């Protein structure tokens, strides 16, 4: 068992990626920006600080970025009660802790969203800490969020687990090995190409811990 596990939340532990797609689409449309759902999905896993420009270009980011992010937050709050942990997510974390792993949940979600997810996962006393977008200036695929998670443990001997190519890229930039799951909607080929050592359908299927 790897000493430290850095585990993504949205799309990895919590089934929320598609609610985020809907919230972002509504936020863009509120600002008369056409954003197709399939395109937005490609950027879920990036933080909101980078998603607007990625999905709609620098001019939209410059003129409406902060307003779109604020609108997305409001629309997502209307949907957040629909999201649930993936089957077996909490038991996976508990089993890893029993085997000696120190677990940090690394999320670029807003602090209030992370708090809600922690309540859903019921992992009080199981994890050693967590991050949110408030902890860094630049979110994934920048390595800053991974570095913030690593700062909460004593060693850089860690393994990242995520669901998006942005998770895997951030881990690579932080020089961490990574594993991936398919629950975020990215393909096995995409995740392997990004650098994941192993890709499985669900957390419970991962073997290389």
Domain with 73 in it: what CATH number? 1.10.150
Domain shared by 69 and 121, yes or no:
no
Bridge partners, 161 (sequence order) = 7, 179
End-of-domain residue from the set 40, 64, 81: 81
How far is residue 126 from each of residues 45, 98, 146, measured CA to CA in Å?
24, 9, 19
**What pLDDT, on a 0 to 100 scale, did the predictor assign at position 1?**
57
Domain shared by 88 and 141, yes or no:
yes
**What pLDDT, on a 0 to 100 scale, did the predictor assign at position 2?**
62
End-of-domain residue from the set 81, 104, 123: 81
The reply to whether omega before 141 is within 30° of 0 (cis) is yes
DSSP code for 10: B
Q: What is the pTM of this model?
A: 0.93
- Tally of helices (H runs) and strands (E runs) in the chain: 9, 8
Domain shared by 9 and 103, yes or no:
yes
**What pLDDT, on a 0 to 100 scale, did the predictor assign at position 35?**
94
Domain shared by 110 and 201, yes or no:
yes
How far is residue 88 from each of residues 20, 82, 179, 201, measured CA to CA in Å?
22, 18, 17, 12
End-of-domain residue from the set 81, 98, 120: 81
Domain shared by 174 and 190, yes or no:
yes
End-to-end CA distance of the chain: 5
Domain shared by 29 and 107, yes or no:
no
Residues of the chain with pLDDT under 50: none
Query: By residue range, what is the domain housing residue 111?
Result: 4-15+83-205
Domain shared by 106 and 143, yes or no:
yes
**What pLDDT, on a 0 to 100 scale, did the predictor assign at position 93?**
96
- Provide the domain count of the chain: 2
Domain shared by 135 and 106, yes or no:
yes
């Amino acid at each position: 068992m790897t000493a430290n596990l850095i585990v993504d939340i949205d799309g990895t532990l919590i089934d929320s990626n598609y609610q985020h797609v809907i919230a972002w689409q509504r936020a863009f449309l509120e600002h008369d920006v056409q954003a197709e759902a399939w395109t937005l999905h490609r950027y879920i896993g990036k933080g909101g600080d980078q998603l607007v420009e990625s999905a709609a270009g620098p001019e939209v980011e410059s003129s409406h970025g902060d307003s779109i992010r604020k609108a997305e937050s409001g629309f997502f709050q209307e949907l957040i009660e629909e999201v649930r942990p993936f089957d077996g997510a909490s038991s996976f974390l508990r089993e890893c802790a029993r085997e000696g792993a120190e677990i940090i949940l690394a999320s670029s979600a807003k602090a209030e969203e992370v708090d809600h997810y922690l309540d859903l996962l019921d992992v009080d006393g199981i994890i050693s800490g967590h991050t949110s977008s408030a902890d860094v200036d630049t979110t994934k695929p920048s390595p800053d969020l991974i570095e913030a998670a690593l700062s909460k443990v004593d060693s850089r001997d860690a393994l990242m687990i995520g669901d998006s190519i942005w998770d895997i890229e951030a881990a690579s930039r932080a020089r961490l090995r990574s594993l991936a799951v398919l629950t975020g909607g990215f393909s096995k080929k995409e995740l392997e190409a990004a650098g994941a050592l192993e890709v499985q359908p669900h957390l419970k299927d991962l073997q290389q811990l």
